[in-house]
């Protein structure tokens, strides 16, 4: 299968207000096939969000090449990428259905098609009965489902998720992992999923990329050894899950250790 996205030798630096150069990503390359889910793990500050912002088209100041296999210029009914961020990104003055529809404002879709998509994705995230409700009347998990529906309604080539469940309590988080898996099984979206949670990465991905401490580059890329459609809870019950978890923790811990040593060095 030819990849739907190829990122080659991505490098990213920032210039601080004081004029110092911060090298965030030193060299990062990967390919993504259509319908594939890639989880990215790595210590804080290694460039995960920077990478997602670049893929989202929110930051054009980088070096390297990002090649998209699909030319979207003929299809103005979907976005190249849509992002779900960590915090609550619902707009409090809009109802749930308005919050979902706003994501499609840049697309060439007539009102009836937009309406249909809102209904489709309201159903998919299980919020049909909450269409007219405002975000303050929803739980954190429900608000995050609104943000996910807003991204999905743009039918993006690439769905970018930056720690989308990090603000939720542990139980809601587990339930939402199962929900995200179910949603993916129905949409077969191509996903880049950033998380600090090794279990979550193993539960929800086909491949895992572990990044080094800043400036970030690939430390390891590995396949998750499960049937792609296997649900998170089922994955967790397998012995291979614990083995992979230990291996990935080892890799991440090495890099977190590196980062702490550098930060505390005189």
Ligand X SMILES: Nc1ncnc2c1ncn2[C@@H]1O[C@H](COP(=O)(O)OP(=O)(O)OP(=O)(O)O)[C@@H](O)[C@H]1O
49 sits near Mg ion (criterion: CB under 5 A): yes
Structure tokens at 10: 């991505």
> Which residues are CB-neighbours of 36 under 8 A, at least 6 positions away?
190, 191, 206, 207
The size of the interface with ligand X (CB under 6 A), counted in residues, is 13
> Which residues are CB-neighbours of 106 under 8 A, at least 6 positions away?
79
Residue 46 near which of Mg ion, ligand X, none (CB within 5-8 Å, type-dependent): ligand X
Alpha carbons within 13 A on the beta-carbon side of 253: 6
Residue 210 near which of ligand X, Mg ion, none (CB within 5-8 Å, type-dependent): none
Contact, 224 vs 241, CB < 8 A?
no
CA distance 80 to 186: 19
- Please, which residue, 49 or 203, has the CB nearer to Mg ion? 49
- Shortest gap between Cβ of 4 and Mg ion (angstroms)? 24
256 sits near ligand X (criterion: CB under 6 A): no
Kindly list the distances between the CA atom of residue 88 and the CA atoms of 84, 85, 97, 159, 229, in Å, as whole numbers in the listed order: 9, 8, 16, 17, 28
- Shortest gap between Cβ of 214 and ligand X (angstroms)? 5
How many helices (H) does the chain have, and how many strands (E)?
8, 9
44 sits near ligand X (criterion: CB under 6 A): yes
- Shortest gap between Cβ of 227 and ligand X (angstroms)? 29
252 sits near ligand X (criterion: CB under 6 A): no
173 sits near ligand X (criterion: CB under 6 A): no
Instruction: Among 3, 11, 22, 95, indicate the residue that binds ligand X (CB under 6 A).
Output: 22
The b-or-e profile of 188-212 (16+ CB within 10 A means b, else e) is: ebbbbbbbebbbbbbbbbbbbbbbb
Strand partners of residue 101: none
Part in contact with Mg ion (CB under 5 A); list of ranges 7-15, 49-57, 167-175, 218-226: 49-57
Part in contact with Mg ion (CB under 5 A); list of ranges 44-52, 65-73, 203-211, 232-240: 44-52
Measured N-to-C along each axis, helices 111-124 and 140-152 cross at an angle, to the nearest 10 degrees, of 140
Residues in 185-244 at the binding interface with ligand X, rule: CB under 6 A: 214
Per-residue mark of binding to Mg ion, 177-216 (x: CB under 5 A)? ----------------------------------------
Instruction: Among 3, 35, 45, 140, indicate the residue that binds ligand X (CB under 6 A).
Output: 45
CA distance 218 to 209: 7
- Shortest gap between Cβ of 254 and ligand X (angstroms)? 16
Residue 135 near which of Mg ion, ligand X, none (CB within 5-8 Å, type-dependent): none
260 sits near ligand X (criterion: CB under 6 A): no
- Please, which residue, 196 or 236, has the CB nearer to ligand X? 196
Residue ranges in contact with Mg ion by CB under 5 A? 49
Q: Which residues bind ligand X (CB under 6 A)?
A: 14, 16, 22, 24, 42, 44-50, 214
């Amino acid at each position: 299968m030819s990849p739907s996205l190829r990122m080659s030798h991505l490098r990213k630096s920032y210039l601080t207000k004081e004029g110092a150069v911060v090298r965030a990503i030193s060299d990062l390359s990967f390919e993504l096939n259509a319908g594939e889910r890639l989880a990215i793990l790595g210590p804080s500050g290694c460039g995960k969000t920077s990478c997602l912002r670049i893929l989202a088209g929110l930051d054009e100041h980088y070096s390297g090449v990002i090649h998209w296999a699909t030319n979207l210029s003929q299809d103005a009914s979907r976005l190249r990428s849509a992002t779900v961020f960590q915090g609550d990104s619902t707009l409090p003055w809009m109802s749930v259905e308005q919050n979902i529809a706003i994501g499609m404002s840049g697309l060439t879709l007539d009102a009836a098609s937009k309406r249909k998509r809102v209904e489709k994705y309201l159903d998919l995230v299980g919020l049909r009965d909450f269409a007219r409700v405002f975000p303050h009347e929803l739980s954190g998990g429900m608000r995050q489902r609104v943000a996910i529906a807003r991204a999905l309604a743009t039918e993006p080539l690439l769905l970018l998720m930056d720690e989308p469940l990090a603000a939720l309590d542990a139980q809601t988080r587990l339930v939402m992992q199962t929900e995200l898996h179910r949603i993916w099984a129905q949409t077969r979206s191509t996903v880049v999923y950033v998380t600090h949670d090794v279990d979550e990465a193993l539960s929800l991905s086909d491949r895992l990329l572990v990044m080094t401490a800043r400036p970030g580059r690939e430390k390891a890329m590995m396949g998750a050894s499960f049937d792609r459609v296997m649900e998170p809870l089922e994955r967790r019950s397998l012995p291979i899950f614990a083995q992979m978890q230990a291996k990935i923790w080892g890799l991440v811990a090495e890099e977190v250790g590196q980062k702490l040593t550098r930060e505390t060095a005189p």
